[in-house]
Structure formats: C-alpha cells, structure tokens
Structure 1
Amino acid sequence: MTLTSQTQPTDAPAAAPAPLRPATSFWQAVGLISGREIGTKLRDKAFLFSTVFFLLLTVGSTVLPAMLSGGPDTVAVVGSEAAEVLGAAGLEVRTVADEQAARDLVLAEDVDAAVVAGPNGVRVLALDEAPTDVVSALSTAPPVELLDPDAVDPVVGVLVPLIFGMVFFFTSITFGIQIAQSVTEEKQTRIVEILVATVPVRALLAGKVIAASTLAIGQIVLIALAAVVGMTVTDSGAIMDQVAPAIGWFIPFFVVGFVLLAAIWAVTGALVSRQEDIGSVSMPVQMLVLIPFFAVIFGNDNSTLMTVLSYVPFSAPTAMPVRLFLGEAAGWEPVVALLILLGSAVAVLLLAARLYEGSLLRTNGRTSLAAAWRNRGN
C-alpha cells in the first residue's frame, strides 16, 4: 500500500495571530492608581469618622452660639408708638391693654420686660434686672458718622486668619502623613514591585497626589458648605459677605499649595523602607508647614511680613487670602502670587518625580536625597 502525503496548499491563509493586549497609557494608569487610593480611603473608618467629626464641629461652632444666646427679648407694650420702635429694634413685641396687664406678664415671667406710658413719661418694667436691649431701643441716639464702614470686626479679624491657617495646616499634615505611610507600606510589603511592573513610576506618583488632593478638596468643600449652612441658619450674612471673597481665592491657593506639599510627602515616604522611619525624615516637611502657619497667625498685623509671606510658596495659600480679607492686597497681587505658587508646584513635581523614581525600589534602609537623584531608573 502506497502512502501518499497530503500537504496543505502553500497559498492557504495562515492562522491569525492572537490579538495583543493594548498597553496602558500614562493617564489610564494614573486613573487606576488614583481610583484605587480613593476607594481605599473611602472605606477607611478613621477617615470617615474624622470627616463627620469636622462637619459636626463646623456646624456646632456656627449654630450653637446663636442657640445658646436665645431669641430676642419679649416686651409687653401699652401703646402703639413704643411698639413700633421696639419692633424695629428686633424685639418681640406683645401689645397689652393696660399697665396692670403688663405687670402681670412680667411677674409671671411670660415677657422679659414691659413698656408703659404714664403722666411722668415712658417707664420700663422688669423683674430683677434692667433690660439693656429695651432701654437701648427706647433711647435717642445722636447721629453717627462712620469713618471706615468697611473695617473688619476685631474678633473676626483674629478668627479668619486662624481658621485659614488651621484648615491648610491640619489638612496638609494629616493627608501628607497618610501619603508617606501609604508609599512606605507598599515598599515594606513589596507591593510596589508589582505596581511598578505594571504602571510607570511617575504614574504611581501622580495617582497618589491626585487621589490625596481630591479627597482633601472634597473634605474642605463639605466643611465650607456646612459653615455656609450654619451661617445661613443663624443669620450671619454680614460676616459671610466679608469672608466670601477671601474664601474664593483661598480655594485655588489651597489646591495648588496642597499638590506641592503632597508631592514632597510622597518622596518622603519613598526615602524609607519601614513605617517606623517616617518620623526621622518627615520633620523637615512638617517644618515647611508649621513655620508658615505660626508666621501668619502671629504676624497677620504686620503688613510687611504678610506681604512677603503672601509670595512665599509654602505660606502663600494662607497669607494671601488673609491679606485679601483684611483689604491690604491690590487686585493684581493674588494673580501674581498664584502664578508664582503654580510655577513652584510644577518645579517641585518634576523634582519629586526624579527623586521618587530613584528611591522607590531601594529597600535597603533609608535613601539619601543625593542617592535618589543619582539612582534614577536603576
């Protein structure tokens, strides 16, 4: 039996190669990393608790003082003329028929005071203490000329710099330390080696910075909304009108300043291989936030110092909005200061990317900045 071999025609089409999986682009990798970081943080009970705590603290600080102070004084009035004057002063007026009825209401403590008219003029009846608001409303005040009607209330002038400084300080420190701990934890558990094999190192850095910035900004926006609601409920519109322009500038300054510091914190975490070593390298970064914070808080009445601080990248996010609130900055100054801060942030991000690449995969203890700069890509 003759065996014949059957050969496949040479012109038959070759089998199609398996499709190649498209490579992940830089921005796709950034989106994956930032989404992972945000999702992890939103499941963190400590983060959620701190957010709720700050919201309750904000609402409480704006609503409770008004609630504890009580409502306007209630006044029993005999006659329509006094009723109109007291009502215009914001007091709650209850009209009664005669003086005896007014006395009975005061003795029963149904009203805070009573105003009655007699042969000897208008008299104020009270139980055991002179009602200052009622007396002031009935007094004839001389005309007053305000030489500086837009002057900032001294109490508000102290509180606003303190609030701006505390928001930027605590947010930068809290989220910054969390960024450093996240980077060090990935190095310590060697998860970073898997991540670097999948996405570019710079995408890993960008994802962490974007995630932390998004969470920080979201938390600040929620707190700001809570403050606005609290002021609306307590009818503190006058203060809100004064603070609103400064808040409008504080937001972009906060965003750019936080991105600058977040990049530095990421490098801080990449320089060490153990969580226990973060404290030894993070002190200089904390000083970059701590020193400007105290400089703005205690030096906001020094116009020369505040002018300088409003152009220094690490203090500008707080100093410039404070100067705007106090009316000490020209219209062009916040634009120039923000551009300087933006340029500084870009430069720091480029520097941080180089140091991050040079230190992220080094797990043999603490890495110096010089070694991280030399070992880029090794």
Structure 2
Amino acid sequence: MSTASPSFAQSTWLVAEREIGSKLRSKSFVISFLILFLGALALIVWGGFSAGDDSGSPVAVTPDATSYVQNAAGLEVRDVADRSAAETAVRDGDVEAAIVADTTSPTGFVVIGDSSVSNTILMALAQLPKVELLDPTGDAGFLGYIVAIGFGAIFFISAQTFGATIAQSVVEEKQTRVVELLISAVPVRALLAGKVIGNTVLAMGQILILAAVAVIGLTVTDQTALLTGIGAPIAWFAVFFLFGFILLAALFAAAAAMVSRQEDIGATTTPLILLVMAPYFLVIFAWNNPLILAIMSYVPFSAPVGMPMRLFLGDAMWWEPLLSLAILLVTCVGAILVGAKIYENSLLRMGARVKLGEALKR
C-alpha cells in the first residue's frame, strides 16, 4: 500500500525543522550567538550602572526652583543666582541641564538644555516638566546614539547572518544535487517556504532573547524608568524585524538559486547585502536627522530600524508605525511572490549563472 504524500503545510514544516536542527547543531552558530549574547548583556549592564551612578547628573537650579528638586534622586544640584547664570552654565558645559521656575509651565518650572535633555534627568523629577532647548538643532544625547547603534547593529548582524545562511544552504543543495532528491519529496515552493520559516524562527528567537536581556539588564540595574521609555520601541522593532526579515529571506533564497557554486553567491546576493548595510550606516550617521529617519521609516528595507528609532526619539505620530508596517507588509508579499518565481525557475538550472530576466520567465 502506498503512503499518502505529505501536504504542503507538512512539507514546509519538515523543511523548517531541518533548517532549525542543522543550525542549532552548528558549533559556529552557537558560539557566535553566545558572543553576541554576552556582549549585549555586558553593554546593557554597564550602561545601566553608569546611568545609575550615585554621583548623579549635574543640574543648575535657581533659588525659586529649589523646591522642585528636593526629592529628586540621581541629580547633583548646583545652585545658581538666576536664569541667566543657569543658561550660561548649560552653554559652558558645566552642567547637563538647568531647572528654573516658570509661571507659564503647567508644572511651575522648566528644564533648560543645550541641544537635548537626558531622559535620566527628566525621569528623576516627580513630574515631567516643560523642556526648552538652547540649541534645538543639536544632538539628542548620548543615549539616543547608543540606541541607534543597538537597533542598527542587531538588524544588520541578524539579517546578514541568517540571509547568508539561507543563500549558502540553497547553493550547497544545488551543488551536491541534494535538491533533486528534496523536490522529489516536497514541492519546490514548500522547500522555499520551509527555509524562510525555519530561519525566521531562529532569527526571531535571537531577537526575543536579546530583548529579554535588555529587560533583565535594565531591571537588575534599577533602570525601570529607562526601560519604560525604550520598551515600546523594542516591541515595534521586533514586529518590523519579523516582516522585514521574511522579505529579505525570500530574496536571499531566490538570489542564491540563480547560481550553482558557492564562489558565485556574491554575484547575486551583493545588492541584498548592501540593502542590509544601508540602514545600519544611515542610522549611525544620521540618527538625529528627522528627515532621513522619516524617509527610512517608509522604505521597507530600512523601516525596521528607522521607525523604532523615531518612536524612541518621540518624533513619530501614533499612526505612522501602522502606515509604515502596512507598506512593509505589501512589499513583503510582493517580494515573496517574485522570490518564489525566481526560485522555482532557477533551482534546477545548473552551470552558468541564471540572469534575472530569464529567472522571471517561465
């Protein structure tokens, strides 16, 4: 009696299990993840303890604003004569910010900064005050730069690592003719779907573990206020990364299917690697540029980095991440359809590299 062939869903899951299992058994993968894990943990714990330094953040306080900082922990109060002296201290860099009384503010006082005001200072106050910047066009603070590096580096490392893994797996199966055995047992599109799903599970697992490290690290170092400010951007980053990685994974698999040798992978995957690298460098060099971040937020390949960064900085309206996510989803569907066609038409083509135009034709 002949056994029934597995369904499309069963075939997809079998391939996904194979991808996950082979990766978890790889010593290089485990070691590289442990290094990334320990590095992230050390950075977060160091940053948390640094932010919680008992010396506190130096702030200039005028006599009429002294009552507002009496119970504020984490501030090193330096008395100044008046508002003019407070602004001078801020401009000269003697203090990080100044707190002065202001009858027009709902809280009765304002916080004056140069180009930005640290979240640590704002969270130390009993109530969030009005903020005035002497140089609004300047940087948004060292913390913003660290967050930009975090989002950019995690997206870059994860997308490149797992994208390259998919590409190498596809070419290895072609080069060894294993793919001919695989597609005799499962549909070609199930093979592609399994590879994408398997590596997406691994990539998302890595992202969620790193997010947990951030939560635990900030909690252990008693930086719950900072955790509250960065929690929502991290959650949005995970959502955007999920669909952004699916988009890239489908394209990496399709690009790899166009060649038959490991040495030729770069010929078709280099454009994708550049797309992964671009958001990393953009967010590092232009993390405080509202225009560039806004553009990044609506470009599918950079939205997983640009939009969470804007949310952290408070520059995005409530509807903007929803619109950006919708654009990403539409692009993701289109990439899957195009990638599946290229993959299906190129997988059994051996020898010379398949041109893109030929791969898109039946």
TM over 0.5, shorter chain: yes
Relative to structure 1, the CA distance from residue 23 to residue 153 in structure 2 (aligned partners, 3 Å threshold; closer, same or farther) is same
Distance (whole Å) between structure 2 residues aligned to residue 244 and residue 309 of structure 1: 21
1:33 aligns with 2:33: no
User: Which of 318, 328, 333 is matched with 1:346 structurally?
Assistant: 333
Residue 56 of structure 1 is matched in structure 2 by 38
Relative to structure 1, the CA distance from residue 304 to residue 71 in structure 2 (aligned partners, 3 Å threshold; closer, same or farther) is closer
Residue 146 of structure 1 is matched in structure 2 by 111
Residue 309 of structure 1 is matched in structure 2 by 296
Distance (whole Å) between structure 1 residues aligned to residue 26 and residue 156 of structure 2: 22
- The AA in structure 2 aligned to 1:168 is F
- For structure 1, which runs of at least 5 residues remain unmatched after alignment? 1-17, 74-85, 92-135
- The AA in structure 1 aligned to 2:39 is L
Distance (whole Å) between structure 1 residues aligned to residue 100 and residue 276 of structure 2: 50
Greater shift, 186-195 or 362-371, is seen at 362-371
User: Which of 190, 193, 199 is matched with 2:177 structurally?
Assistant: 190
- The AA in structure 2 aligned to 1:62 is I
- The AA in structure 1 aligned to 2:233 is A
* SS across alignment from 1:207: helix
Q: Given that residues 100 and 111 in structure 2 are in contact (C-alpha distance below 8 angstroms), is that contact kept between their aligned partners in structure 1?
A: no
Distance (whole Å) between structure 2 residues aligned to residue 154 and residue 142 of structure 1: 21
Query: Aligned-residue CA RMSD in angstroms?
Result: 2.7
- The AA in structure 2 aligned to 1:267 is A
Percent identity, aligned pairs only, is 46
TM-score (normalised: structure 2): 0.76
Residue 122 of structure 1 is matched in structure 2 by none
Residue 369 of structure 1 is matched in structure 2 by 356
Relative to structure 1, the CA distance from residue 88 to residue 310 in structure 2 (aligned partners, 3 Å threshold; closer, same or farther) is closer
Greater shift, 176-185 or 242-251, is seen at 242-251
- The AA in structure 2 aligned to 1:269 is A
Residue 46 of structure 1 is matched in structure 2 by 28
- How many residue pairs match? The answer is 298
Greater shift, 169-178 or 285-294, is seen at 285-294
Relative to structure 1, the CA distance from residue 257 to residue 65 in structure 2 (aligned partners, 3 Å threshold; closer, same or farther) is closer
TM-score (normalised: structure 1): 0.73
Relative to structure 1, the CA distance from residue 358 to residue 243 in structure 2 (aligned partners, 3 Å threshold; closer, same or farther) is same
User: Which of 222, 225, 228 is matched with 1:235 structurally?
Assistant: 222
User: Which of 251, 264, 279 is matched with 2:251 structurally?
Assistant: 264
Residue 8 of structure 1 is matched in structure 2 by none
Q: Given that residues 52 and 221 in structure 2 are in contact (C-alpha distance below 8 angstroms), is that contact kept between their aligned partners in structure 1?
A: no
1:153-176 CA-partner distances (Å, limit 9, x unpaired)? 611111111111111111111110
Relative to structure 1, the CA distance from residue 21 to residue 321 in structure 2 (aligned partners, 3 Å threshold; closer, same or farther) is same
1:283-333 CA-partner distances (Å, limit 9, x unpaired)? 111111122322222222222222122111111111111111111111111
Distance (whole Å) between structure 1 residues aligned to residue 331 and residue 34 of structure 2: 33
Give the CA deviation at 1:69: 9.8
Distance (whole Å) between structure 1 residues aligned to residue 50 and residue 298 of structure 2: 41
User: Which of 216, 220, 224 is matched with 2:203 structurally?
Assistant: 216
1:160 aligns with 2:147: yes
Relative to structure 1, the CA distance from residue 88 to residue 327 in structure 2 (aligned partners, 3 Å threshold; closer, same or farther) is closer
User: Which of 265, 282, 288 is matched with 2:275 structurally?
Assistant: 288
Give the CA deviation at 1:244: 0.8
- The AA in structure 1 aligned to 2:207 is I
Distance (whole Å) between structure 2 residues aligned to residue 338 and residue 268 of structure 1: 25
Greater shift, 365-374 or 249-258, is seen at 365-374
- For structure 2, which runs of at least 5 residues remain unmatched after alignment? 56-69, 76-94, 102-108, 123-127, 132-138
Structure with greater Cα Rg = 1
Distance (whole Å) between structure 1 residues aligned to residue 191 and residue 172 of structure 2: 14
